[in-house]
Structure 1
Amino acid sequence: MFFMVDPRRIQIYTLLITMVYLTFFHVRRYANPFVDELDFTVALMTLTQKMSRFAFEYHDGTVRSYQSLTPTQKSLAIKSLPGILPYLSYNVGFLGLLAGPLCSFNDYQVFIHGEEKKRNPNVVVFKKLWLCCFLLAAHIILSDQFSVSNDPNNSVMYIFLELYLTAASRRPKYYFAWTLADVINNAAGFGYNGVLDYGEERWDLLSNLNILRIEVSVP
């Protein structure tokens, strides 16, 4: 499609096509919840994000003027179409196929070609694995503790509290999956993002999740 569509509209067409495709399978899964087949919608969501992001970064690198881009867009802009093998490797590489995390094509190429200085991720991997264990335990303990009742005598405030606790008890399993996906990439050497002022290495290049900020709703 990238060879057939006008680069000025490629990001729009890609987003529309991938979202329609993803929506179709979500609706199909919702309409037939008891069908005994593999649920691949999670992997499909990750693939939708990657293909859409690639299209937008390609649009930034080939259509938009360099001066109009932000510093981040300049570093991630894709200036020419890659070969089919790098493109497929980015989209369906085993490290991020099932649950991500989302990354840029340029960052992925730097990792694949070994263009950055190798760092030791062991410390951050163990820290994130401990977090995974905590999140998994929270999911096992809390997931069945709260549910929404249908008692019409409950007050509005009680219903809101019930909804909040029920939703909160379901989130750890998603936090666990995203954190584990981050750990897998870090263990492979992907995710290094420089060094902080006090010398600590940053391994948050692929960290799409900040649990504290999500839970307390702060920027």
Structure 2
Amino acid sequence: MDRLTLFFLHPVSLYQGAAFPFALLFNYLCILDSFPTHARYLFLLAGGGALALAAMGSFAVLVLIPALWTAVLISWRGPRDVHRWAFISQMSWQTLCHLGLHYTEYYLRERPSTRFCITLSSLMLLTQRVTSLSLDIREGKVKAASRGIGERSSLSEHLCEALPYISYLLFFPALLGGPLCSFQKFQARVQGSGTLSPRRALWALSQRGLQILGLECLKVVLGKVVRAGAGLADCQQLECIRVMWSTAVFFKLTYYSCWILDDALLHAAGFGPGFGHSPSEEGYLPDADIWTLETTHRISLFTRKWNQSTARWLRRLVFQHGGTWPLLQTFAFSAWWHGLHPGQVFGFLCWALMVEADYLIHTSAGLFIRSWPMHLLYRALTWAHTQLIIAYIMLAVEARSLSSLWLLCNSCNSVFPLVYCILRFLLGKRKQTFN
């Protein structure tokens, strides 16, 4: 199991849990007409600053600097230029911070601090909000009052204009986790007066709490199985398949639990489904669709449903503007956004190849499979193969180090993606010949 993933996800969950009373307090205060809009922005911003200091310590400055810089860019740059400048500056800053992690792990060979890992995770989420906001401004969905550098204005006017943007970039329910919330939805929620009824809110939070409890119980049982068995370095032939699958399931349960907790925190603060949704805007999208992820027989569908809000953000940011190789560019950017560790580069490029193969395989199969028994058998086999390929990719991404990646590639588990690679080559040649 990857040391870094489990290293910071548990502390993040503790900090997210500690933020629940403040999220419920904000939701309650929004009912009161005496709680003005500026006070709401300040409440969310102050909560974000306090949570950043508690979770990240002195590393919180690495998140505060790009957030403030983005607010300056929005004020100084026009709608056409703000996205380019925001994207370049944010990704450059995040890459420098990831290089610091590389230096600690690979050069100094030291274990990175928990606070620094939490900071990097928060920076990645900040990149989503920065680029989402800048795209909204460029596309005219959000109107930003930009000023020239030489234009004079009082400090109070600058602060009042920048407050909604800084509050959005640092608001505490989404600082450490959670699905991407658009600026329009955020602004509509802060400026609105609606809130969930106590009965509905309690029922929704209770549901999520029971889901988290069930996932944590499964994690405890599976964790004992994983620790008791052999690892990839000690497994023998077919036993390596069980090791890979069980370890990947443990990782998935960890992510599912964290995503549901993050979703519950946003829901408690009033940023869940049903608030701030306009007809022209895509609705609220939770990160975890566990039923689809565990039952689908298509890698392409798994890819769209895994961390759904991030998948939608990547599609909007990269895929729709990708040009010749949009799929490859999207996964390459995802590897960059995650930190460009060796396992991540290999895993995401392998994932892109598997998605391409998936489209060709299922398109070709749909032309030949007619009877329902064969269709049922086909779905069962492709489901098992999909789950094993996803497990392979997940271990590659989480392995991070070259030694762990080599153990995975040198095991019999490499057969599963190799089968899809061969089928992709054969079906691709057949498609070219047919065309």
What SS does the aligned partner of 2:115 have? coil
Q: Structure 1 residues 41-50 or 9-18, which shifts more?
A: 9-18
Which residue identity lines up with residue 100 of structure 1 in the other structure?
G
Answer yes or no: is 1:98 the counterpart of 2:176.
Answer: yes
C-alpha displacement at 1:51, in angstroms?
A: 0.8
Which residue identity lines up with residue 233 of structure 2 in the other structure?
N
Select the residue among 185, 200, 208 that pairs with 1:107.
Answer: 185
Gaps of 5+ in 2: 1-72, 105-109, 146-159, 276-282, 302-435
In structure 1, the partner of 2:334 is: none
Select the residue among 27, 38, 43 that pairs with 2:115.
Answer: 38
Query: What is the rounded CA distance, in whole Å, between the counterparts of 1:191 and 1:174 in structure 2?
Result: 19
In structure 2, the partner of 1:167 is: 248
C-alpha displacement at 1:104, in angstroms?
A: 0.5
Relative to structure 1, the CA distance from residue 172 to residue 31 in structure 2 (aligned partners, 3 Å threshold; closer, same or farther) is: farther
C-alpha displacement at 1:29, in angstroms?
A: 2.0
C-alpha displacement at 1:160, in angstroms?
A: 4.6
More helix by share: 2
Select the residue among 16, 33, 53 that pairs with 2:88.
Answer: 16
What SS does the aligned partner of 1:83 have? helix
TM-score w.r.t. structure 2 length?
0.40
CA-based RMSD of the aligned residues comes to 2.7
Instruction: Map Cα deviations across residues 7-38 of structure 1 (whole Å, 9 max, x no partner).
Output: 32432332232223223222322432424461
Answer yes or no: is 1:28 the counterpart of 2:118.
Answer: no
- Tell me, yes or no, if the aligned pair for 2:232 and 2:244 is still in contact at 8 Å: no
TM-score w.r.t. structure 1 length?
0.74
Answer yes or no: is 1:122 the counterpart of 2:202.
Answer: yes
In structure 2, the partner of 1:50 is: 129
In structure 1, the partner of 2:222 is: 142
Give the number of the structure whose alpha-carbon radius of gyration is greater.
2
How many residues are aligned here?
193
- Tell me, yes or no, if the aligned pair for 2:266 and 2:272 is still in contact at 8 Å: yes
Gaps of 5+ in 1: 62-76, 195-203
In structure 2, the partner of 1:83 is: 161
In structure 2, the partner of 1:187 is: 268
Select the residue among 131, 141, 147 that pairs with 2:211.
Answer: 131
Which residue identity lines up with residue 244 of structure 2 in the other structure?
L
Query: What is the rounded CA distance, in whole Å, between the counterparts of 1:20 and 1:141 in structure 2?
Result: 42
